[in-house]
Amino acid sequence: MEEEKKRLPADTRFELPVLLGSVFLIATCAIFYELLISTVSSYLQGGSVLQFSLTIGLFMFFMGIGSYVSRFFEKNLLDRFIDVEIILGVLGGSSTAFLYAAYSLTELYYLAMFLLIAVLGTLVGLEIPLVTRIVKQYSTLKDTLAQVLSFDYVGALVASVVFPLILLPYLGIMRTAFLVGILNVGVALFNSRIFVAQLQYGKQQQRLSIAAMALLGAGFFYSFQIITFFEQFLYQDEIILTRQSPYQRLVITRWKDDYRLYIDGALQFSTADEYRYHEPLVHIPMLASANRARVLLLGAGDGLALKHILRYPDVQQVDLVDIDPVMTQLAAENPIFKTINKGAMNDPRVKIYNQDAFKFVEQSTHSYGVIIVDLPDPKDTSLGKLYSREFYLLLQKRLDYAGVMVTQATSPYFANHAFWCIHKTLQSVFPVALPYHAYIPSFGLWGFVMAANKLPPTEQLITQLQQKLPTVATSLQFLQPQNLPHLFIFDADLQLSDTTLKVNKLDNQVLVGYYEAALKEWQ
């Protein structure tokens, strides 16, 4: 081996490090492309587990196709490697824009995603076999495989850490894609300069790489305008603000005096009727509890539920837990949110915790008189765990014996099985689980489930709520003593019809399946 190294000309000895460095970079880019496609699909289609599993599975399959195809490349391997990097950089860098266009302008998103994965996966599958055969000219087969695979795996690790912690929160999904494409083409440009004497048309490849980088650079620079252009097709109203966090994409739209918040494309509230959701969610459990001194609010980082909680003078502290600091910062500092939530996020009685709700409740030692769970629908397992029996057992430990908890529970009409699954899961933990609902024009009929260790019979409870409601009813727009009883009456078509519904647990996550089935039916 040493003799082979000595026979190499002095000016070629750094070529092996260049190739191994290229392996590191192309491996990083390959993982980035998988993560980008999975993340965009999760934003646009929901079901993050399904999207990531589908993308990774298809990507690996087509990488196998690419590896097999590489056997037919016998000559000019460096040229072919550089060609692959240029094509991969342009297509991969444009992948997010392509997917947004497919979703916004066509009904063929999954076909577009499949074709994109097929092309990118095949190109990625070509890379390592080609590089391995090139590196073999500088080393033995044993050393070549060890070196190439080592750099490949390290690159994969770096990408999986950098993407969620740095690129996605600071650059956003579109800009990250263009940057990764630039990195891929940069590998082609650098190799075409280093190995120019060994290439058939190295100068042309350099010029092509520079042109591709310029194109991707323009996309990087105008990425905000590009994503806004396509997003405008997704929303009926004018987009006035967007934010990308490590957890979700936030979009605010406006039509006249109606502001709407969307998270990953799903409507969270409309200022035209949000009170019809938040008043039943907050005031019914607040009035039903014997102690409101300390309140736990899970989710609701927009501050809209919080403004209702703070109307009670006996509330001494509210612990608001929302995993996304971008959401809570917007709600506390943005003028639009401060107007909508009446500055509730800056009330001295409020403590904000940016952490996972499950972990917070698991680690907490405090006791609460009221617990309000205002989390997104259980569209994937990361959210489904917050509707599980195990989570409700943790909440029961944190709830005063005479306290009350409530959770939003999706629509009893559009997601009937999911709604009653949440009710049944709470019934498996609490002695009392009482469902109720309200009609919200932006969402349709919406459901809630209130649970407690002890509550009076339903009719007696309603009477007590009617007696207490006037203390706050003057400041409410929807909830009044006279309409309160109707919220607890479910029409025949809304009542539980499937007695085989299961309790949602961490090890089965049946609720996610019920919810996804409802989405498919109504879509």
Q: Which of 145, 150, 116 is nearest to 133 (CA)?
A: 145
Do 361 and 326 form a contact (C-beta atoms < 8 A)? no
Q: What number is the average pLDDT over the span 139-156? A: 80
pLDDT higher than 90, residue 363: yes
In this predicted structure, what is the pLDDT of residue 10?
Answer: 41
Q: For the chain, list the domains and their CATH numbers.
A: 2-230 (1.20.1250), 236-268 (no CATH), 270-522 (3.40.50.150)
Do 481 and 469 form a contact (C-beta atoms < 8 A)? yes
Q: What is the mean pLDDT of the chain?
A: 90
Of the chain, the percentage scoring pLDDT greater than 90 comes to 65
Cα separation, 479 vs 473, in Å, equals 7
Catalytically active residues are: 374
Do 43 and 65 form a contact (C-beta atoms < 8 A)? no
Tokens of 214: 């310029």
Q: What is the pLDDT of residues 416-440, one digit of tens each?
A: 999 999 999 999 999 999 999 999 9
Q: What is the pLDDT of residues 389-412, one digit of tens each?
A: 999 999 999 999 999 999 999 999
Cα separation, 385 vs 387, in Å, equals 5
In this predicted structure, what is the pLDDT of residue 467?
Answer: 93
For residue 77, what is the enclosing H or E element? helix 77-93
